[in-house]
Structure 1
Amino acid sequence: MSSSDDRRGPPGDDPRGDRRGARVETGVVQARRPRLAPLVWSEITVLFRRRRTLAMLAAVALIPILIAVAIRLSSSGGGGGPAFLGQITDNGLFVVVTAMVVATPLFLPLTIGVVAGDTIAGEAGHGTLRYLLIAPAGRAKLLLVKFLGAATFCAVAALTVIVVGIAIGALLFPIGPITLLSGGTIPVSETVGRFLAIGAYVAISLLGLSAVGLFISTLTDVPVGAMAATVTVSVAAQILGQLPQLSWLHPWLFTEHWLGFADILRDPISWQSFGDNALLQAGYVAVFGALAYGRFLTKDILS
């Protein structure tokens, strides 16, 4: 009579043992798999420690400062100016609105183009992309982390304009209840809340460009080329948006609602532009995020 060990066969042939081993190995892999939150925090920390990032935020902060100083000098010297800018002399809070109008079409997309274009191409150019993929994070998770880092920069850049605009406006001009576009007035506390909503609007407006930059960044190992291409796409979209012959194309451009935050300065607030803008940017994020994933999934990582 054969023993029970003979019926079970060699230890290596025990299917239960294989399943237990598979569970143990799976548990090891899962234990080593980094979570998303620490990866995002690490990406944000590295991003905002770079001198280039701090320099771009400083340049963005200069926009409301230069506007406020220029209006202050011109008003003290008796010079005139456009009626919209003239409201700053009566209420310094209008510095924020003016700075947003100036920064949104050019300066903010320029900084976003640098950050988004550097996401993948920068790592490849510095030879660190292969190292990042050694960890069992996966290419999809790495793309998501890079995009969330760029999205965080969008929010911080918009918030910088708001905070610096309020500070320099209060320093150089009187502040008080602000007159809305609809003719009513709101107190300073509510004005700050609306400014934060404008900051959220602008940050969302730049998410589509961030997704485009992320995709372009997967196409090359030269970060400067990816940055330049992303900025060029932003400029080209705005030029196309000014051509009446292409009016059929305008609703599909990610720049279509960039200046729609003026509706937040009405009473009651019109959220139509906010919703349309968010939906449009979500479409760009979905499409170009999928393109970036498809490209990055099949890309040979040589550096």
Structure 2
Amino acid sequence: MSQAEVAPVRAGRSRSPLWTFGILRSELATTLRRGRTLALLGVLAAVPVLIGIAVRIQTSDGSPAGPPDGGGPAFLSQVTNNGLFLVFAALAVTLPVFLPLTVGVVAGDAIAGEASAGTLRYLLVAPAGRTRLLLTKYTATLAFCLTATLVVAVSALVVGALLFPVGEVTTISGTRIGVGEGLLRAGLIAVTVAASLIGFAALGLFISTLAGSGIAAMAATVGVLITVQILDTIPQLSGIHPYLFPHYWLSFADLLRDPVYWDEIVKNLGLQGLYAAVFGSAAWARFTAKDITA
């Protein structure tokens, strides 16, 4: 077959939805099979185990869970009475640092890791194109956000059921809901937590397009996370707090109200969508104009 005949075939193949799905499936498999990724997921799965064991040991003599003054992570004091609360407590503990840290590693390595390994140029030789490759990388990162969140939630659910009784859930509003509805809200909370990371994932992908080293991109992404987290705790900067991507992360707790209080949850999702649009566009503009030499 001549080059003139091959070109239309390749062009048609590149536009095929099945071809696009094949690229995404390959990227997902590559991401989730990396030893580094599996190690990160293993650490996330261990966090609820450690929390559950610590609460079990602390309350074995009848003492309440958490510090004597009632402080500590959200929902921790309720874990002893209902193991389902371990899901909420574990997500509250991992969301500020552990979950975004793992997402930052994956997002930061998405493009820069390929460049430093010398495989980015070969990926672009395929008929996928830069835009499709970037979208595939971002979709794979979002899939990791959901996977990481579910790993924490499922681990906490299993440990909570093994170490503590599971029954009706007392909401923040003081009403009681059945176990089935409690599980449903736990699933909704896990999805909301995963959605809370889409803005940071886009930011990490943008940083990845700027760097030529995967390690440098990961370090820069994590550095931005820590810096923004610090800014969000400074009272003198309260004017900018509502515009920082982690500001509404813990609003998922409002899903445990009866009725659900949606105000801050909607603000959180809207803010994440804005960050995704801005930094996703910036990543596209940078990547499509970038001179790929490796």
| Pair in the same fold by TM > 0.5 | yes
Answering whether residue 73 of structure 2 is matched by residue 64 of structure 1, we say: no
Name the CA distance, whole Å, in 2 between partners of 1:52 and 1:147: 18
Written as runs of structure 1 = structure 2, the 5 A alignment for 1:15-34 is 27-33=8-14
Moved more, 45-54 or 25-34: 25-34
Answering whether residue 259 of structure 2 is matched by residue 275 of structure 1, we say: no
Q: 1:36 maps to what in 2? A: 20
Q: 2:126 maps to what in 1? A: 135
Name the CA distance, whole Å, in 2 between partners of 1:91 and 1:79: 15
Q: 1:4 maps to what in 2? A: none
Residue type at the aligned position of 2:103: I
Q: State the shift of 1:244 in Å.
A: 1.6
Name the CA distance, whole Å, in 2 between partners of 1:142 and 1:214: 12
Name the CA distance, whole Å, in 1 between partners of 2:262 and 2:55: 31
Q: 1:76 maps to what in 2? A: 60
Residue type at the aligned position of 1:96: V
2:80 aligned residue (89, 92, 97): 89
Answering whether residue 165 of structure 2 is matched by residue 155 of structure 1, we say: no
Deviations 1:170-225 (A, max 9, x none): 00011101110000111111111111111111111111111011010011111111
Moved more, 135-144 or 31-40: 31-40
Asked if the contact 2:84/2:160 (under 8 Å) is kept, the reply is: yes
Q: 1:198 maps to what in 2? A: 189
Question: Gaps (5+ residues) in structure 1?
Answer: 1-20
Question: How many aligned residue pairs are there?
Answer: 282
Written as runs of structure 1 = structure 2, the 5 A alignment for 1:169-188 is 169-188=160-179
Supply the RMSD in Å over aligned alpha carbons.
1.6
Asked if the contact 2:11/2:127 (under 8 Å) is kept, the reply is: no
Q: State the shift of 1:85 in Å.
A: 2.4
Q: State the shift of 1:78 in Å.
A: 4.6
Q: 1:217 maps to what in 2? A: 208
State the identity %: 50
TM-score (normalizing by structure 2): 0.92
Q: 1:13 maps to what in 2? A: none
Moved more, 202-211 or 32-41: 32-41
Name the CA distance, whole Å, in 2 between partners of 1:105 and 1:36: 34
Q: 1:146 maps to what in 2? A: 137
1:45 aligned residue (17, 29, 43): 29
Residue type at the aligned position of 1:29: R
Name the CA distance, whole Å, in 1 between partners of 2:193 and 2:77: 24
Residue type at the aligned position of 1:260: S
Q: State the shift of 1:250 in Å.
A: 1.0
Q: 1:252 maps to what in 2? A: 243
Name the CA distance, whole Å, in 2 between partners of 1:293 and 1:114: 20
Name the CA distance, whole Å, in 2 between partners of 1:242 and 1:293: 32
Pair member with larger Rg: 1
Name the CA distance, whole Å, in 2 between partners of 1:47 and 1:139: 19
Asked if the contact 2:199/2:275 (under 8 Å) is kept, the reply is: yes
Q: State the shift of 1:295 in Å.
A: 1.1
